[in-house]
Amino acid sequence: MHPYIPHLLADIATAHRTEIPEEKFPQTLEDEFEEIENWVSREEPENTFGYYCGLNSENFPPAEQLTDREMKIIRRAFEKMMFTWNHGIILPEKLPAAFAYKMVVDSLNMKTTIVNSGRMSFDFCSGYAPDCVFKEYCPCWEAWKNPTDPADFEDNHVDTKNDIGRQPDRDSIPDDYEDDIPF
């Protein structure tokens, strides 16, 4: 194992959110509508995910210096940390380890909002497969290449299964790496 991995995993463990502010619920229906209107009309978030969790993408080794197994271990620990911030990242199931690792690390540089209830996710799907950042790994690509009846698409569409908060019984990273995470 790369000698830097244990230190990186310790940094990721330290980045877990430990204090969640108490949520204040709207007192009246008008307050609730005002909260919804503020959410919808909000400006671009000011801070990056790295700002909130305290990690810098520069502290992660390039994918070329890691094995697929090491990238999966780091990614699994990173996604667990994201979950403590009510955040996630949605990636295609068949994405190569190096591509997925890079996307997860790059999420540290993306502006976001941290919520105290509910969940936010980095989602790269625009719905237009020809311009998808994932190219041939896009789960919608097959439907774009071979258009069929929309009802068939619903029946044959494959869900991504890497969002650890969504379907805990279907994680994208096999459980056999679980023992490698020191926390």
What are the pLDDT digits (tens) for 9-49? 999 999 999 987 777 776 788 877 877 787 777 778 889 99
Residue 130, domain member (yes or no): yes
Please give the single-letter amino acid code of residue 127.
G
Q: State whether 102 and 154 are in the same domain.
A: no
Please answer whether residues 7 and 14 qualify as being in contact, where contact means their C-beta atoms are separated by less than 8 angstroms.
Answer: no
Final residue belonging to a domain, choices 124, 153, 169 = 124
How many residues are listed for the chain in this entry? 183
Please answer whether residues 69 and 20 qualify as being in contact, where contact means their C-beta atoms are separated by less than 8 angstroms.
Answer: no
Quick one: 87 exposed, middle or buried, by C-beta within 10 A (0-12, 13-18, 19+)? buried
* Least confident interval from 52-56, 79-83, 149-153: 149-153
Please check the confidence at residue 131 and state whether its pLDDT lies above 80. yes
Nearest CA to 17 out of 90, 119, 98 is that of: 119
Q: State whether 110 and 130 are in the same domain.
A: no
Please answer whether residues 105 and 114 qualify as being in contact, where contact means their C-beta atoms are separated by less than 8 angstroms.
Answer: no
Quick one: 70 exposed, middle or buried, by C-beta within 10 A (0-12, 13-18, 19+)? buried
154: domain range? 126-161
Q: State whether 97 and 8 are in the same domain.
A: yes
Q: State whether 113 and 138 are in the same domain.
A: no
pLDDT tens digits, one per residue of 73-84: 999 999 999 999
Residue 28, domain member (yes or no): no
